[in-house]
Amino acid sequence: MKIIKDILYKVAIESVVGSTEMRINKIEFDSRKIADADVFVAIRGTISNGHDFIATTIQKGATVIVCDTLPNYLPAGITFVKVADTNVALAQMASNFYQNPSTKLKLVGITGTNGKTTIASLLYQLFTNAGRKVGLLSTVKIMVNSTQYPATHTTPDSLSINHYLNEMIENGVEYCFMEVSSHGIHQKRTEGLHFEGGVFTNLTHDHLDYHATFAEYRDVKKLFFDNLPKTAFALTNVDDKNGDIMLQNTVAKKRSYALKTFANYRAQILENQLSGLLLKINENEVWTRLIGTFNAYNLVAIYGVAIELGLESLEVLRLISELESVSGRFQFVVSTEKITAIVDYAHTPDALENVVSTINDIRTKNEQLITIVGCGGDRDKAKRPIMAEIAARLSDKIIITSDNPRTENPKTIIAEMEAGVAPNDFKKMLSIEDRLQAIKTACQLANPKDIILIAGKGHETYQEINGVRHDFDDMKIVNEILIQLNK
């Protein structure tokens, strides 16, 4: 058990009612998980307000309440701590509760619209192959050395982050690579963490259902770099027009990477094939099994991080040559009929254009590119017509289908996507609401040597419809269909 005053260190306290010498069991912000001698932190969420559940948590055994507004009734024996911002307080308390685990390893955060998962996952892979003890906090999974835990958010809540970081410390982890989302920054989930470095990938149209404007989205990302300490490095993609903006106010050591402009870490694509990339990184050539210009950016960022963390250049290049693609990121299978099916998480206009353009750069144009694309429900609607326009313009055939419709009518989502397709591309377009049927149709339309791109869901193994997650794995399904068709 912990004494409450010890876990309130650095918290901006406005007032206290009751004793701060009280011993507490654990911290919770979910009222359903409260038990005897717990601290309940009342968070104002997008769906519910934790302050509405204070009385319930006291009945369940909570002895300390952290809130930004004191309730009218303050029962005896309960300590109330009024703070300016309960999200910030939760993050700082979580860090204190686990004895500030982020200060005991080298934590690197990766932020940006596209590439976060790939860079974090490949860094985990590279440092593991280098014989280091490594942790990973990503969209796809959470890793503590070789032990895997399921991931539910791009950036977990601050309690979970510190719990897993503490688990890493207990298992001797030296490095942790972490995706840092705009939601996570805005909701203060990374407050109280000590970062050894930060990486900015790029900034494109995404999450404007959450952030009011693109400028707000950009500025939230920038906050991450504004808050890095002097001892950290800040590595930014200067080919992106927002790259320099990220570093404007940081006190961290400024570093850059690029393909097109001068930078501390620069890559040049010498060969780009379906079998891999030949790159020149800072005057040294390296062959990698990863594919496409977007992966060239990812790899030079990884190279930069590894060098900043003290690895030797030639060793890093050797390790890059051994890297394998990340689940759901340009994963492909080739059938016995030489039909290539590619599954990619591309769910933003920029990511989709990058993937389709990569395929077009590699292929001979003697084959068809059939692109299957959808957009998620209850999310940014503005990108729907843009996604369809890109897919139709750059593909030979396009099938618009369901992604994760969530609580929206998939027919509405598909209609909003169709509105973006240019009239001269209508003849390329099919709309098939059922995603399984869409994949099956693409496989039936494909001839030997054709390419099928299934975009949007990548590593996800479910499809969310009306609040229910149904088993659905794009890679598994297309593989099974191609095998059945070839019998």
Instruction: Enter the DSSP assignment of 191.
Output: T
Confidence grade of residue 212 (pLDDT, cut at 50, 70, 90): low
| Residue 380 confidence (pLDDT) above 90 | no
Per DSSP (E only), the strands in 68-145 are: 79-83, 106-111, 134-137, 141-144
pLDDT for 207 equals 44
Q: Is the pLDDT of residue 211 over 70?
A: no
Q: Quick one: pLDDT at residue 209?
A: 47
Residue 397 has pLDDT above 90, yes or no: yes
**Domain that includes residue 364, residue range:** 331-485
SS3 of residue 233 by DSSP: strand
pLDDT classification of 455: cutoffs 50, 70, 90: very high
Closest of 55, 56, 54, 57 to residue 68, by C-alpha: 54
Q: Would you state the pLDDT for residue 45?
A: 83
- Of 261, 296, 321, the one marking the end of a domain is 321
Are both 251 and 190 inside the same structural domain?
Answer: yes
Residues 65 and 122 in one domain: no
Do residue 86 and residue 106 come from a single domain? no
| Residue with the larger pLDDT of the pair 160 and 204 | 160
| pLDDT tens per residue, range 154-163 | 568 999 999 9
323-362: string of b/e by CB count within 10 Å (b at 16+)?
bebbbbbbbbbebeeebbbbbbbbbbbbbbbbbbebbeee
Q: Which two tokens stand for residue 177?
A: 């690579």
Can you point out the beta strands (E) in 180-263? 197-200, 233-237, 253-258
Give 284's pLDDT tier (boundaries 50, 70, 90): very high
For residue 406, CA distances in Å to 50, 386, 451, 465, 469 come to: 24, 20, 29, 5, 9
Q: Lowest-confidence range among 41-50, 90-99, 106-115, 153-162?
A: 153-162
pLDDT, greater one: 150 or 65: 65
**What pLDDT shows up at residue 456?**
94
Within a domain: 296: yes
Q: Classify the phi-psi angles of 401: left when phi > 0, otherwise alpha if psi is within -120 to 50, otherwise beta.
A: beta
Domain total for the chain? Answer: 3
Examine the domain organization and report whether 119 and 54 are in the same domain. Answer: no
Mean pLDDT, all residues of the chain? 93
- Give CA separation, 313 vs 265, 302, 306, 465, in Å: 11, 12, 8, 47
Residue 317: name the closest of 349, 351, 282 by CA: 282
Looking at the structure, tell me whether residues 26 and 67 fall in a common domain: yes
Same domain membership, residue 272 and residue 141: yes
pLDDT given at position 154: 56
pLDDT in tens, 319-375: 999 999 888 888 888 898 899 999 999 998 988 998 999 899 888 888 999 999 999
Task: Say if 375 falls within a structural domain.
Answer: yes
**Burial of 314: CB neighbours in 10 Å, binned 0-12, 13-18, 19+:** exposed
Cα–Cα dist 315/126, whole Å: 10
- Name the β-bridge partners of 278: 271, 287
Q: Are residues 197 and 66 located together in one domain of the fold?
A: no
DSSP code for 47: S
Does the residue 73 lie in any domain? Answer: yes
How many CB atoms are closer than 10 A to CB 270? Answer: 12
pLDDT tier, 204 (very low <50, low <70, confident <90, very high otherwise): confident
> Are 427 and 346 found together in one domain?
yes
The answer, yes or no, to whether residue 208 has pLDDT greater than 50, is no
Q: Does 155 lie in the same domain as 301? A: yes
**φ, ψ (nearest 5 deg) of residue 175:** -130, 145
Whether the full predicted model's pTM is greater than 0.85, yes or no, is no
- CATH number, domain with residue 346: 3.90.190.20
Burial of 423 (0-12, 13-18, 19+ CB in 10 A): exposed
Q: For residue 214, is pLDDT > 80? A: no
Please state the φ and ψ torsions of residue 77, each to the nearest 5 degrees.
85, -5
The DSSP symbol for 157 reads: -
Please report whether residue 80 resides in a domain.
yes
Whole-number Å distance between alpha carbons of 7 and 91: 11
Given this model, what pLDDT does residue 150 score? 82
Q: Do the bridges between strand 369-373 and strand 175-179 make them parallel or antiparallel, or are there none, so unpaired?
A: unpaired
Instruction: Specify the pLDDT at position 205.
Output: 58
Q: Is residue 349 part of a domain?
A: yes
| Residues 75 and 132 reside in one and the same domain | no
Distance, in Å, from the CA atom of 184 to the CA atom of 160, rounded to the nearest integer, reads 12
Average pLDDT estimate for 144-172: 90
- Please provide the size of the chain in residues: 487
Boundary residue ending a domain (321, 352, 387)? 321
> Which CATH number goes with the domain that contains 38?
3.40.1390.10
Task: Verify that 196 and 336 share a domain, yes or no.
Answer: no
Query: Does residue 326 fall inside a structural domain?
Result: no
In a domain, residue 471? The reply is yes
CA gap 379, 449 in Å, rounded = 35
